[in-house]
Structure 1
Amino acid sequence: MATINKPLKPKPLTKLRSPILTLILCISAITLLCLFSSLISTNGFSFSSPKNLPNKPHRQHTTHEKYLYWGSRIDCPGKHCESCEGLGHQESSLRCALEEAMFLNRTFVMPSRMCINPIHNKKGILHQSDKWAESSCVMDTLYDMDLISETVPVILDNSKDWYRVLSTSMRLGARGVAHVEGISRVHIKENSHYSNLLLINRTASPLSWFMECKDRNNRSAIMLPYSFLPTMASQRLRDVADKVIALLGDYDSIHVRRGDKIKTRKDRFGVYRTLHPHLDRDTRPEFIHHKIEKWVPPGRTLFIASNEKTPGFFSPLAGRYKLAYSSNYSGILDPVIENNYQLFMIERLILMGAKTFIKTFKEDDTDLSLTDDPKKNTKSWQLPVYTMDEVE
């Protein structure tokens, strides 16, 4: 008997699709709800340290830009060509040069390396590799050039952009470059002979670059705050700081500068004097406790960054606070840090990320500080003070 094969009709998919669609819609709704709630919670917080920036292409320099060159190394030409000062000193000089570039509306040619003072590189608290013995480091391992360029356009002096500027200025001859010395930035800006040139080769002060900004006590003359360069750390350093900040959670911080700042010398009568008469006293644990108790409640996590080398120096504070140091996070820091400058830059970001940040010296009117001694002294050597009489 012959059989006839009838074509099979496909079963309706309504019943099959219905639970799948329902599941997909539920998952989508939950995902959107979680995303929305995370955005709300994230926007509720703010941090002092700069946020991680998304990967983006390097800034493109145009042919219409004009350039300012101060030298191949910070403070060189100048007093410190054979040696160099610490990070803070060099940052003061670099900030001065960047301010002039802002004032002249020019792109600053940044030295591609920063000199490392060996005295300031012996205080590393982490495992030190052979790289710690190097006398300089690559500038963009310290700073984010694209981030700086959002405020002051910069290029490095080993970049293709710089070689292009040099070759162009040579072709232009007298119309391309001017070598200036002892001329104020106001004169350079207002004199068309200089303002129209492609490149200003600015020979800095024979003392230090920052001497070109001698009027920094005039607040209206300051274009870049002290905090500018500390927040311009490279992406790699910012990432490490963010990891430590996440582990610290809710914390407070103090920066305790001792070491070089508490040095004394004998006068002609054999009496010891110092430039900061209260600093040694104000940065000892018992005085720190007295000073910060009105700002930091007991039981808080207190992150301490200091150049004090005595082991356990701050241990007396552990009776009131949960103490934390960079050395507690060596597993995170050690693979990244190659010199003490990088370590200090990370510590500064961690310090700034705290709920309450207490500095050693007051740098701004709103700062909290351990001492009332001025950071910049007038070279007046005074008798050290160790009593509580003058403490608030």
Structure 2
Amino acid sequence: MAIHRIPKSKQKPRSPVLLLVISIAVIAFLWLFCSSSSMAGFSFSSARTLVNVRGLKKDRNYGLEKYLYWGNRIDCPGKHCDSCEGLGHQESSLRCALEEALFLQRTFVMPSRMCINPIHNKKGILHQSKNANSEEEWAASSCSMDSLYDLDLISDTVPVILDNSKIWHQVLSTSMKLGARGVAHVEGINRIDLKENNAYSNLLLINRTASPLSWFMECKDRNNRSSIMLPHSFLPSMATKKLWDVAEKVKRLLGDYDAIHVRRGDKIKTRKDRFGVERSLHPHLDRDTRPEFILRRIAKWVPPGRTLFIASNERKPGFFSPLSTRYKLAYSSNYSLILDPVIENNYQLFMIERLILMGAKTFIRTFKEDDTDLSLTDDPKKNTKDWQIPVYTMDE
């Protein structure tokens, strides 16, 4: 199409409105051009750095963070790495490590897998070959961390990455290039010094694996409650969405219910002293967790006729049946059609049960976690190392 020039003498004055419209159009075009360039830059540079970081949010710049590493196994007591504790024990360690990351304002490098002790797993994920090497055995006797926890949800409080992510490998590579300026292997240094001493606070990576102790032993001295930054309920409430959804289905079927957690098998241990007398670290526990004593204990908290959900590691069939004289009993096994397609191991089952327990109108624990908790026994949960003669009568 031919463009005919109009002599300047014949041009009409341009309208101010027209000039304003043209200006807005030019600004809009420039804005769109800059935006597309910016997004293209993100796609080809930053995205490579942030890949495989589950739960990443736009307001988190992991590429500029400082990191805290405690090791690739939560429960590895020094040289005895073949042993493995239960979920609650490992969570105590994990929660303490997360607290340190929160205190230091660092991203926590979380193990990508969690060890599962065979005695805590009845679903049979332990299919170990006789010719398997140690890493293959570890993979067979563990489960992926993101099958248990919602890492995005955890990162809302404490930013975390997994130790099999690309960004972690990038951090390792960078720290090796920086040498002494990039990483410090610390042992016996408290978190306050790590935060306030510039020799540590400015480093890219702090590595806690110099200690031969297990995570739990590193975190064992937690008597100063004012120093605890994450509550006991933090990790139980961080269950992955799949487990939350299953727990919600069961809770809807239960309706209005109360719940008790009865811990027996792993805590009722006795040994004979030099005179042949049986002694226990929890002298009242066996008594307090038997049905006849449970009925007496919870009568003031749970009215007759209520639905009572029971979570327990007691293996004797029908052990809690005497409670049915006063309550309508419910167990996770009653909902196997909902649970079995989802759960792969007992850790997942226990996490679902915990969510159900937390949703009860009245929840009664075995041991008190806090002073306000309702509990079946007054024995302390912590190991007092005081072996006493078990009590089986009602000694008021």
TM range (shorter): 0.7 to 0.9
- The match for 2:242 is 236
TM-fit CA distance, 1:132: 7.9
Size of the alignment, in residue pairs?
330
Please list the CA deviations of residues 267-290 of structure 1 after superposition, one character each: whole Å capped at 9, or x if unmatched: 110000000010000000000000
Q: Is residue 2:140 matched to residue 1:142?
A: no
Which residue of structure 1 lines up, in the alignment, with residue 207 of structure 2?
A: 201
1: distance between equivalents of 2:64 and 2:87? 33
User: In the alignment, what sits opposite 1:91?
Assistant: 91
Structure 2 residue aligned with 1:185: 191
Report the Cα distance in structure 1 between the residues aligned to 2:91 and 2:210, rounded to whole angstroms: 15
Residue type matched to 2:380 in 1? P
* 1:29 alignment partner in structure 2: none
- For 1:68, the equivalent position in structure 2 comes to 68
Is the counterpart of residue 161 in structure 1 residue 195 in structure 2? Answer: no
Give the CA deviation at 1:203: 1.9
Deviations 1:320-356 (A, max 9, x none): 1000000000000000111111110110000000000
* Offset, 1:193: 1.1
Distance 2:251 2:357 in 1: 9
Paired residues for 1:355-370 under 5 Å? 355-370=361-376
Matches of 1:195 and 1:129 in 2, distance apart? 44
State which of 328, 341, 347 in structure 2 corresponds to 1:341. 347
Match in the other structure for 2:106: 106
TM-score of the aligned structures, taking structure 2 as reference length: 0.80
Decide whether the 8 Å contact of 2:75 with 2:115 is kept in 1: no
Query: For residue 365 of structure 1, what is the amino acid of its counterpart?
Result: D
- Deviation string, structure 1 residues 51-71 (Cα, Å, up to 9, x no partner): xxxxx9633443321000010
Q: How does 1:1-392 map to 2 (within 5 A)?
A: 58-59=56-57, 60-76=60-76, 78=78, 80-122=80-122, 128=123, 130=125, 134-203=140-209, 205-390=211-396
Aligned partner of 2:34 in structure 1 is: none
1:254–1:105 distance in 2 versus 1, CA, 3 Å: same
Partner of 1:12: none
Task: Point out where structure 2 has 5 or more consecutive residues left out of the alignment.
Answer: 1-53, 129-139
Distance in 2 of aligned mates of 1:67 and 1:77: 23
Relative contact order, CA 8 A, sep 6+: which one is greater? Answer: 1
Distance in 1 separating the partners of 2:55 and 2:359: 27
Separation of aligned partners in 2, 1:79 and 1:301? 47
How far apart, CA to CA, are the structure 2 residues paired with 1:86 and 1:111?
Answer: 16
Instruction: Return 222-231 or 294-303, whichever deviates more.
Output: 222-231
> How large is the Cα RMSD of the aligned pairs?
1.6
> For residue 58 of structure 1, what is the amino acid of its counterpart?
L
The question of whether the paired residues in 1 share the 8 Å contact of 2:55 and 2:155 is answered with no
Q: Could you say what secondary structure the match of 2:64 adopts?
A: coil
In 2: Cα distance, 1:253 partner to 1:132 partner? 34
Contact 1:231-1:349 within 8 A present in 2 as well: yes
Assess, with a 3 A threshold, how the Cα gap between structure 1 residues 204 and 281 changes in structure 2: closer, same or farther: farther
Percentage identity across paired residues of the two chains: 82
SS in 1 for 2:266: helix
Moved more, 129-138 or 380-389: 129-138
Q: Give 5+ residue unaligned stretches, structure 1.
A: 1-55, 123-127
CA contact (8 A) 1:132 1:339 kept: no
Residues in 1 aligned to 2:298 and 2:233: alpha-carbon distance in whole angstroms: 22
Q: Distance in 2 between matches of 1:343 and 1:280?
A: 24
TM-score normalised by length of structure 1: 0.81
Q: Which amino acid aligns with 2:232?
A: Y
Once the two structures are superposed, what CA deviation does each residue of 1:36-61 show, in whole Å capped at 9, x if it has no partner? xxxxxxxxxxxxxxxxxxxx963344
